[in-house]
Chain A
Amino acid sequence: MKSLKAQDHPLSSSEAEIQHLESDMPGFSGDSFASELKKINLFPLKPTQIEVLQINLGKMCNQVCKHCHVDAGPDRKEIMTRDTMQQCLEVVKNHSVTTIDLTGGAPEMNPEFRWFVEAIRSIDSEITIIVRCNLTIILANPKYHDLPEFFMKHRIEIASSLPYFTATKTDSQRGDGVFEKSIKALKLLNDQGYGVEGTGLVLNLVYNPSGAFMPAAQAGLEAEFKKRLDDKYGITFNSLFTITNLPISRFLEYLLRSENYEGYMEKLIDSFNPVAASGVMCRNTISVGWDGYLYDCDFNQMLELKVTSIDSQHIKDWNEKSLTERDIIVKNHCFGCTAGAGSSCGGTTA
């Protein structure tokens, strides 16, 4: 499967995506989400404080997942350079972020990945470093086989997608054979001490629905995942994060193609939860694109909606005051983060 970009698909354009989000439903306008925030006095949406720097190291990935909001895949060549990483390190050195969240694509495919992790750790021995590891990358090539050891050495926290504890559902979303490889990779991580009680090495799994429906309640599903993975494969992990699919990129294309768009959006809108709205991740996170530009979140990054703080739109121009005082850009895809128990890269928010 090729990325939407490689197919030259109309939805590979962020303008086209935004247009769908603003006009494809009766009784729905471009400021529908903003109107909901106004009702609960949260508009304009403001940051609380910047604690998390989520850095997208590139769109290249060894997988082509059907729901991917990044439209990542082997055919994507956008990769962060060492120069841009150096600019990120300046922010780590001089500002108050407490968590670095490395994502992609497969972040490990960036040739400077290990250098960057080592550099962050040498600046701050205590800072939390999360790597969003897709698991299969560990087995994709011999040069990645020692990743579990590398992760352990630098006390990296692992967050890995596993849509379900069975092969059928996992492979239908992430590609043939992904489940089997993911199980092998999880065993390697467990062998290294990840997800094992008492080691302090954190392995969290991420669940997102394989279709046009909402995620299950996080606590109940976590218990189910733990039981099934332990009983059948002897695999252990720390927490399960449930994430709602946001209607952008490949998931938007799926919703439109399968005629589920309207029903799915109605469900997100009907499930708007003010508590989840006040806890959205864009309030404490800045997302850095592969080219160094700054965004409110990874979704706004993919929609090419740069932060509104004009003097601080690139990592090299980082101005914490401007960023903290900025208005966060909200559009109708944001209903995905505020539905039900809420959704963020760390799971539910309400």
Chain B
Amino acid sequence: MKTYYNPEDLKNFGKIGEFQKPLADKFFEYYGEVFAEGALTAREKSLIALAVAHTIQCPYCIDAYTTDTMEKGCDEEQMMEAVHVAAAIRGGASLVHATQMMNKVKEISM
């Protein structure tokens, strides 16, 4: 069955440089540095990436960072908590706009 997303494509991510090498090289160098140990540990960064992956709903990123967080020693509970952080922010982002709705209701109501 043909689909827009093919799991096999994930391993070809590094080949995007075939069409534009200098920009790809800069991106991957930056990417590598972002995920290195720093003020945040590589493990913390991987959990953030997992949460963001769910927010942007990228299936490649979800596959990649599910494996990566497990390879950083995280367990299912920690991973699910990270996804709930993403969900809370997404849900909260909708709900906080309710204040605008409430303001408008008040504005146009007697």
A169 to B76 CA separation, bound complex (whole angstroms): 9
CB contact under 8 A between A266 and B70, given known A166-B75, A220-B41 = no
Q: Are B73 and A214 in contact (CB under 8 A)?
A: no
Nearest CB of chain A from residue B88's CB, rounded to whole Å: 23
Q: Are B67 and A213 in contact (CB under 8 A)?
A: yes
- Choose one: A168, A213, A217; the contact of B70 (CB below 8 Å): A213
Residues of B within 8 A of A (CB): 11, 41-43, 67, 70-73, 75-77
Q: Which residues of B contact A169 (CB under 8 A)?
A: 75-76
Nearest CB of chain B from residue A265's CB, rounded to whole Å: 13
Q: Could you list 29 examples of A-B contacts with CB < 8 Å?
A: A164-B75, A166-B75, A166-B77, A168-B75, A168-B76, A169-B75, A169-B76, A207-B73, A209-B70, A209-B71, A211-B70, A213-B67, A213-B70, A213-B71, A214-B71, A215-B71, A215-B73, A216-B43, A216-B71, A217-B42, A217-B72, A217-B73, A220-B41, A220-B43, A220-B72, A220-B73, A221-B73, A224-B73, A266-B11
Q: Which residues of A contact B43 (CB under 8 A)?
A: 216, 220
What is the number of residues of chain A that contact chain B, defined by CB distance less than 8 Å? 16
A317 to B72 CA separation, bound complex (whole angstroms): 45
Q: Which residues of A contact B70 (CB under 8 A)?
A: 209, 211, 213
Not counting A207-B73, A220-B42, a sample of 17 additional A-B residue pairs whose C-beta atoms are within 8 angstroms of each other reads: A164-B75, A166-B77, A169-B75, A209-B70, A209-B71, A211-B70, A213-B70, A215-B71, A216-B71, A216-B72, A217-B72, A220-B41, A220-B43, A220-B73, A221-B73, A224-B73, A266-B11
Q: Which residues of A contact B67 (CB under 8 A)?
A: 213
Q: Which residues of A contact B75 (CB under 8 A)?
A: 164, 166, 168-169
Q: Which residues of A contact B42 (CB under 8 A)?
A: 217, 220
For chain A residues 155-214, which have a beta carbon within 8 Å of chain B? 164, 166, 168-169, 207, 209, 211, 213-214
Nearest CB of chain A from residue B41's CB, rounded to whole Å: 7
Residues of A within 8 A of B (CB): 164, 166, 168-169, 207, 209, 211, 213-217, 220-221, 224, 266
Q: Which residues of B contact A224 (CB under 8 A)?
A: 73
A164 to B77 CA separation, bound complex (whole angstroms): 13
Q: Which residues of A contact B77 (CB under 8 A)?
A: 166
A216 to B76 CA separation, bound complex (whole angstroms): 15
Q: Are A216 and B11 in contact (CB under 8 A)?
A: no
A213 to B75 CA separation, bound complex (whole angstroms): 13
A221 to B43 CA separation, bound complex (whole angstroms): 10
Q: Which residues of B contact A266 (CB under 8 A)?
A: 11
Nearest CB of chain B from residue A115's CB, rounded to whole Å: 40
Nearest CB of chain B from residue A194's CB, rounded to whole Å: 24
Q: Which residues of A contact B41 (CB under 8 A)?
A: 220
Nearest CB of chain B from residue A348's CB, rounded to whole Å: 14
A216 to B75 CA separation, bound complex (whole angstroms): 11
- Choose one: A168, A211, A216; the contact of B73 (CB below 8 Å): A216
Q: Which residues of A contact B71 (CB under 8 A)?
A: 209, 213-216
Residue of A nearest to B68 (CB): A213
Q: Which residues of B contact A164 (CB under 8 A)?
A: 75
A166 to B43 CA separation, bound complex (whole angstroms): 18
Which are the 9 A-B pairs with shortest beta-carbon distances?
A: A216-B73, A221-B73, A214-B71, A213-B70, A213-B71, A216-B72, A213-B67, A169-B75, A166-B75
